[in-house]
Structure 1
Amino acid sequence: MGFDLSLMKPVMKSVFGFDDFRELQKPIVESVMNDNDTLAILKTSGGKSLCYQMPAIFRGGTTLVVSPLISLMKDQVDALIAKGVPAAYVTSGLSLEETRARYDGLGKGEYNLFYVSPERFKDQNFLQALVRSPVSLFAIDEAHCASQWGHNFRPSYANLGNTLDTLEGHLRRKVQRVAFTATANARAQQDIVDMLKLRSPDVHIQDFDRENLSYAVVMAKKSDRTPEIIQALQEHRSDGCTIIYCVTVKEVEKLYQKLNNAGVDCNRYHGRLETEEKNEIQDQFLAGEIKVLIATSAFGMGVDKSDVRLVIHAQMPGSLEAWYQEAGRAGRDGLPAKAILFYHDADKSIHRFFIGQGAPEGYKIAPIKDMIRKILFLGPSSLDARLIAMHCTQQLAVIHTVMPDSGIRLVELTRNDVIATITLLKNQGEIEERDGLFALGNWQESNEYIWVDEVKRHNWLKFNAMCSWCETNLCRRWQILRYFDERKPHYYCGNCDNCERRAMSVVQTNNMVEKAVRPSTLIAMASALDSISEAHQARWMHILLGTMEVKLLTDAETEVSGRFQWHAVGDLKRWERSLIDNGVLDESHKLTDKGVEWVEGRIDVPVAKPPAPAPGAKPAVIVPPPVIEGRVKILRAWRKSTAFRADVSEMQIMTEPQIHKIASLESVTAEAMSQAGFTEKWLANHAKTILKTFEKHERQNDCVLQ
């Protein structure tokens, strides 16, 4: 028999002020209280932390929480202490005396919850305190960091499974493990279970849909998106706050200056600010004193602010997982909110650079690592990446000359290769950095980093999926859900820019809806086909759709694999033929001189013009604005009364874009709503009452609204 959650209600009410758990929290807490290892995937704002905090408080003992960010630890511990819960954290920002005092408290069992980063397990003093403590639960937050298929892979997280096994050996008992994340597809979920060594875990996966969020991608005209961002801020003025995400610190600072100069009251947050300044900015944002915050991805994880009404991505993130997590920080109170991404082709070069720098080619690591060991063997030192690259290249050339059959590749190493290797070794804990000086850490003599190439290939897949999502004409919400393995039939949500555009700005021909493909999509396809021009048709099709195993692909093929995964086979064939017929590609898929000029933006080629309406096609009818306004009022009143009767939020009944979609129909009928993308289930629940509402209003006001 499972644990009775009602026993926890008095404690939860007195500590957190909640009467009960949310429905999706209940099975997770039951698993934890039944002593089962658990993997829980809850969308942002789902209440992950309560699922391990309440068991920790109710059961007693010590729960060790592994968390990736200092700000997240600090916020949660401060909140727990304010509620009277014994909690502490240890980070590199504490003094030696404070750290020792907290270790002493951990060993004596003075804390219900103790927060650390995964790197803390290298500290022998911490491990000794942990072995003395009454630890009863290991809670791993942001568990996607343990998976090489996750969007923020950290080797220190991936080692946690082995580390916890070793700890259990010293404790001479098993300790329950629970893992939490907001974003993990099927492959990442299995990787988390394997890397953290969860034992026959209960797996709980929450629906990834955020119905109150409206999604939009804006094709930026220039790489400088400041004017468009200012316009978006003006159009979405509200009582809530806005977060603007940029990929790099440089871009955050640049946008911060431009918005300030334009009179926008804003601030910025990134990893290069001093800790005190970052904490002050975060506290001001949480208090509502900062309404617009420009930040890198370093901001937001674990930040609990419910009234963020708008999240803007000034640049495209590197993966859909990263975008989903950051966009999900809007509308945590369940009220309508919006996520806008400004997309420009220049964004791609940044991520291509990051993919190359973040995961060096496996065969380049050994000579660079050997040179770093020689430099640091005598003690801490700085590492000059350019000098190391030059010496390694010279050394390889000498070895290749003296021993041509040695099997060592003759390659010219670059500064970026060295930087990537240094980053890898730091993440592995093999070297440590402080105040610009490096020292040997937990050094591994092995140079086997086969997984590095696999991570790089997977990063290309995630990057291509992100680009494809930005350029698609399909429903964005459906694609997100499909990406996270919710296999729903295709539908139109009515709450993303593509669905709104489909209802408002399509060419209707004999009840068929056709759309013009974006020029950027065709340019991307032409470039992709040129890079894999040696592939025959059956192969290039599978490569672009992402249906071939990555290990069977060449490096060039890996870089475009899955780039068009959201498009139909028929579309790809038609576009390929159009590119060839317009002289952009030759028959072997190589870019022609004309194609190169077109891709570089020097000439215009009318490849992407929308199809002409078929002969005799019925033109789209524009509904007069007064009629639309009248329908909107009626639908809002109907939505309010329907939500009241069903005891649900109004957004669960119908979103604002859906209201405007129905209001803009030529004739409001069940058939018209079906053609506009409303699902059969939705129509079965609501179509009849909507039509009756319109009929009643017409009789009472003697006017025609249908």
Structure 2
Amino acid sequence: MAPTPRDILHSVFGYQGFRGQQEAVVAHVVAGGDALVLMPTGGGKSLCYQVPALARAGTGIVISPLIALMHDQVEALRQNGVRAACLNSTLGLEEVRATEQALLRGELDLLYMAPERLVTERTLDLLGRTRLSLFAIDEAHCVSQWGHDFRPEYTQLGRLAERFAGVPRLALTATADEPTRRDIRTGLRLEQARAFIGGFDRPNIRYRIGQFPDARGALLRLIEDEHPRDAGIVYCLSRRKVEAMATWLQERGLRALPYHAGLPAETRRRHQERFLREDGVIIVATIAFGMGIDKPDVRFVAHLDLPKSIEAYYQETGRAGRDGLPATAWMAYGLQGVLTLRQLLEASTAEERHKAIERRKLEAMLGLCEITSCRRQALLHYFGDPLEAPCGNCDNCLEPPATWDGTLAAQQAMSAIYRTGQRFGVNYLIDVLRGSDNARIRDLGHDRLKVFGLGRDLAATSWRSVFRQLVARGLVSVDVEGHGSLHLTDAARPVLRGEETLQLRRDPAPGKRRRGERAAPPDETDRPLWDALRARRRELAAEQGVPPYMIFHDAVLMQMVEQRPRDLAQLARLDGVGERKLAQYGADFLAVLSAHEAPGAHR
């Protein structure tokens, strides 16, 4: 009798039950249906095609955008006893031939490949001679030119609908607003596919966004206070900033490695391998790093520059805490970052329709930064997933920001922009408002304007905050020539006329720290056992040449600490311990548990 999806889930992957909509997706695909699956990062999308591929006859074909992701998932599946392989450009001719022959003989459960390889006539002919269980198109948002990771190769995957009629197809992604979802359906010929839209909430992630006079110092405090031995990712906008930040962290005793497209391929590969296989490594990267990184124990993701959209922010922060344990999404942003993104957008040669969509996405990102209410509610609302009550696990919930009536200051700032001819940047405008003794101001006659010295009562940092929030709210725009001069928009008129008031966020005083919690075992008395379990995992991983998390996730080790299983039967009851891993590693971890048995455990 063929095993049921629940049997497969338990015996192969070691889970006691499905989560959320996983079971509904699996049942639909096992029955031969097509599906569009939207689930948050870490929400278990992979099981939605891995389980059906094992339950149905034939080989499941997985289209994946990155070679690193293919190798990662194939190795993880093999650890669970699944017959998995990949076809990509890193393989030699003999390896390719051996894999293709195994496919034709029906000896593979899952085969991973990139879209570029799949759509070649040779590969399509090979698949035409194979019994196929399904097609899974991962990172499906790449098909949309309005998405944040557009890959033109994905647009050819709609051909599968005609060439392999009757083979179920799944499109899976963690980030897609409504226009992107429409593109996925149209581009992949999935107009009739059933949609499974899971909740986008990642309650284990604490969102923290702020203004920091010394962003590097604030990040260092976060790492030292809350994540001293944890793996993390730090995102920067430019390659130069990546290199400088990695060096700066290294000089302070942290294991930080740079990653960007300008580095040699071998350096990128080596740094990625260290990040995946070693504990406590921090990657400082541009957005070139991340998609397809399946490391579950990333405890923090930090942004030192503003992402271009909420989709990009959500996907990048979603790389933290994939194991469900507490994690931090931290971001520092400022006026210069806002201006830079606006300048890049307006100077773009893209067609106006595309620029309009990008403006909307950037406005939403800025709104998330400046909002004074629950950040999680705003984030989820963007994806059409409302949260009824404030989350209690973001900075605005934990420490509600102070606000002030900034109407008068906003009027003064916008008046300064207008009266100086809408030709100057923030620093010059602040000098005018504060009445600075500046030769340039005198030469231009701006010391005779009514606004000159009108804002002496506000510090320069406060004025910078006012301008930043005016830009974020769309009352002020940046010129398209790249000189940084500010202009008033039509939205400024009601405020200038006194028809609307503005409540502005009051930036925290320099040096003030946010409260936080470091992800660690529940009791420090458990630390020796926790460290011993991780050490044994590290040894076993090194013996096999795989990342430690492929042996067991941190979440599984945490269960061992909390439940202290004494035999294989008790160990098998933990989520994430399947039959293959139980047989292969059970005795090793039971030995560690026995050596650290709590006093009086048998009483």
Query: Shorter-chain TM-score: what band?
Result: 0.5 to 0.7
Which one of 166, 171, 180 corresponds to residue 174 of structure 1? 166
Shift of the 135–602 alpha-carbon distance from structure 1 to 2, 3 Å rule, reads same
Following superposition of structure 1 onto structure 2, how do residues 481-520 of structure 1 map, counting pairs within 5 Å? 481-488=380-387, 491-502=389-400, 506=402, 515-516=403-404
Shift of the 500–516 alpha-carbon distance from structure 1 to 2, 3 Å rule, reads farther
Shift of the 115–344 alpha-carbon distance from structure 1 to 2, 3 Å rule, reads same
Distance in 2 (CA, whole Å) between partners of 1:127 and 1:177 is 15
Q: 1:546 corresponds to which residue?
A: none
Following superposition of structure 1 onto structure 2, how do residues 149-548 of structure 1 map, counting pairs within 5 Å? 149-161=146-158, 163-168=159-164, 173-221=165-213, 225-348=215-338, 350-352=340-342, 355=345, 360-361=349-350, 453-488=352-387, 491-502=389-400, 506=402, 515-516=403-404
Distance in 1 (CA, whole Å) between partners of 2:346 and 2:423 is 27
Shift of 1:73: 0.7
Asked if 2 retains the 8 angstrom alpha-carbon contact of 1:221 and 1:344, the reply is: no
Shift of 1:105: 3.6
Q: 2:547 corresponds to which residue?
A: none
- Look up the equivalent residue of 1:176 and give its one-letter code: P
Q: 2:85 corresponds to which residue?
A: 88
Shift of the 286–73 alpha-carbon distance from structure 1 to 2, 3 Å rule, reads same
Deviations 1:119-139 (Å, cap 9, x if unpaired)? Answer: 224533222212222223110
Shift of the 159–82 alpha-carbon distance from structure 1 to 2, 3 Å rule, reads same
- Look up the equivalent residue of 2:176 and give its one-letter code: A
Distance in 2 (CA, whole Å) between partners of 1:132 and 1:590 is 70
Asked if 1 retains the 8 angstrom alpha-carbon contact of 2:20 and 2:198, the reply is: no
Q: 1:16 corresponds to which residue?
A: 13
Distance in 1 (CA, whole Å) between partners of 2:62 and 2:395 is 39
Asked if 2 retains the 8 angstrom alpha-carbon contact of 1:284 and 1:290, the reply is: no
Asked if 1 retains the 8 angstrom alpha-carbon contact of 2:42 and 2:324, the reply is: no
Distance in 1 (CA, whole Å) between partners of 2:4 and 2:161 is 32
Secondary structure of the structure 2 residue equivalent to 1:458: helix
Asked if 1 retains the 8 angstrom alpha-carbon contact of 2:135 and 2:169, the reply is: yes
Does residue 30 in structure 1 map to residue 19 in structure 2? no
Shift of the 105–457 alpha-carbon distance from structure 1 to 2, 3 Å rule, reads farther
Shift of 1:182: 0.9
Asked if 1 retains the 8 angstrom alpha-carbon contact of 2:227 and 2:299, the reply is: no
Shift of the 354–268 alpha-carbon distance from structure 1 to 2, 3 Å rule, reads same
Asked if 2 retains the 8 angstrom alpha-carbon contact of 1:242 and 1:291, the reply is: yes
Asked if 1 retains the 8 angstrom alpha-carbon contact of 2:227 and 2:300, the reply is: no
Distance in 1 (CA, whole Å) between partners of 2:343 and 2:68 is 28
- Look up the equivalent residue of 1:165 and give its one-letter code: A
Does residue 140 in structure 1 map to residue 132 in structure 2? no
Distance in 1 (CA, whole Å) between partners of 2:428 and 2:155 is 42
Shift of 1:50: 1.1
Deviations 1:133-167 (Å, cap 9, x if unpaired)? Answer: 22231101111111233222222213321x22352
Distance in 1 (CA, whole Å) between partners of 2:112 and 2:255 is 35
Shift of 1:592: 3.0
- Look up the equivalent residue of 2:218 and give its one-letter code: E
Which one of 4, 7, 28 corresponds to residue 7 of structure 1? 4
Shift of 1:349: 5.1
Deviations 1:421-454 (Å, cap 9, x if unpaired)? Answer: xxxxxxxxxxxxxxxxxxxxxxxxxxxxxxxx43
Shift of 1:256: 0.9
Secondary structure of the structure 2 residue equivalent to 1:486: coil
Asked if 2 retains the 8 angstrom alpha-carbon contact of 1:469 and 1:476, the reply is: yes
Q: 1:98 corresponds to which residue?
A: 95
Asked if 2 retains the 8 angstrom alpha-carbon contact of 1:327 and 1:339, the reply is: yes
Shift of 1:67: 1.0
Shift of the 6–120 alpha-carbon distance from structure 1 to 2, 3 Å rule, reads closer
Shift of 1:24: 3.1
Asked if 2 retains the 8 angstrom alpha-carbon contact of 1:244 and 1:292, the reply is: yes
Deviations 1:501-522 (Å, cap 9, x if unpaired)? Answer: 32xx64xxxxxxxx127xxxxx
Deviations 1:681-703 (Å, cap 9, x if unpaired)? Answer: xxxxxxxxxxxxxxxxxxxxxxx
Following superposition of structure 1 onto structure 2, how do residues 664-703 of structure 1 map, counting pairs within 5 Å? none
Asked if 1 retains the 8 angstrom alpha-carbon contact of 2:259 and 2:286, the reply is: yes
Which one of 54, 57, 80 corresponds to residue 54 of structure 2? 57
Shift of the 585–6 alpha-carbon distance from structure 1 to 2, 3 Å rule, reads farther
- Look up the equivalent residue of 2:194 and give its one-letter code: D
Shift of 1:277: 4.2
- Look up the equivalent residue of 1:298 and give its one-letter code: A
- Structure whose alpha-carbon radius of gyration is higher: 1
Distance in 2 (CA, whole Å) between partners of 1:206 and 1:5 is 29
Structure 2 stretches lacking a partner, 5+ long? 435-454, 470-514, 516-521, 524-554, 556-603
RMSD between aligned alpha carbons? Answer: 3.3
Shift of the 189–283 alpha-carbon distance from structure 1 to 2, 3 Å rule, reads same
Distance in 2 (CA, whole Å) between partners of 1:99 and 1:146 is 27
Deviations 1:171-197 (Å, cap 9, x if unpaired)? Answer: xx4321111111112232222112111
Q: Which has the higher contact order (CA 8 A, sep 6+)?
A: 2
Structure 1 stretches lacking a partner, 5+ long? 363-452, 507-514, 518-573, 611-628, 630-635, 638-648, 650-706
Deviations 1:19-55 (Å, cap 9, x if unpaired)? Answer: 3322431111112112111111111111111110111
Distance in 1 (CA, whole Å) between partners of 2:92 and 2:428 is 55
Secondary structure of the structure 2 residue equivalent to 1:44: coil
Query: How many residue pairs align between the two structures?
Result: 442
Asked if 1 retains the 8 angstrom alpha-carbon contact of 2:377 and 2:386, the reply is: no
Distance in 1 (CA, whole Å) between partners of 2:290 and 2:137 is 18
Asked if 2 retains the 8 angstrom alpha-carbon contact of 1:215 and 1:338, the reply is: yes
Following superposition of structure 1 onto structure 2, how do residues 570-585 of structure 1 map, counting pairs within 5 Å? 575=407, 579-580=410-411, 582=412, 584-585=414-415
Secondary structure of the structure 2 residue equivalent to 1:193: helix
Distance in 2 (CA, whole Å) between partners of 1:94 and 1:166 is 29
Asked if 2 retains the 8 angstrom alpha-carbon contact of 1:39 and 1:201, the reply is: yes
- Look up the equivalent residue of 2:243 and give its one-letter code: E
- Look up the equivalent residue of 2:128 and give its one-letter code: V
Asked if 2 retains the 8 angstrom alpha-carbon contact of 1:103 and 1:126, the reply is: no
TM-score (norm 2): 0.66
Shift of 1:215: 0.9
TM-score (norm 1): 0.57
- Look up the equivalent residue of 2:367 and give its one-letter code: S
Secondary structure of the structure 2 residue equivalent to 1:210: coil
Following superposition of structure 1 onto structure 2, how do residues 606-617 of structure 1 map, counting pairs within 5 Å? 606=458
- Look up the equivalent residue of 1:463 and give its one-letter code: L
Shift of the 309–188 alpha-carbon distance from structure 1 to 2, 3 Å rule, reads same
- Look up the equivalent residue of 2:404 and give its one-letter code: A
- Look up the equivalent residue of 1:179 and give its one-letter code: A
Secondary structure of the structure 2 residue equivalent to 1:45: coil
Distance in 2 (CA, whole Å) between partners of 1:134 and 1:468 is 50
Distance in 1 (CA, whole Å) between partners of 2:173 and 2:157 is 16
Q: Which segment is superposed worse, 322-331 or 300-309?
A: 300-309
Secondary structure of the structure 1 residue equivalent to 2:308: coil
Which one of 101, 104, 121 corresponds to residue 124 of structure 1? 121
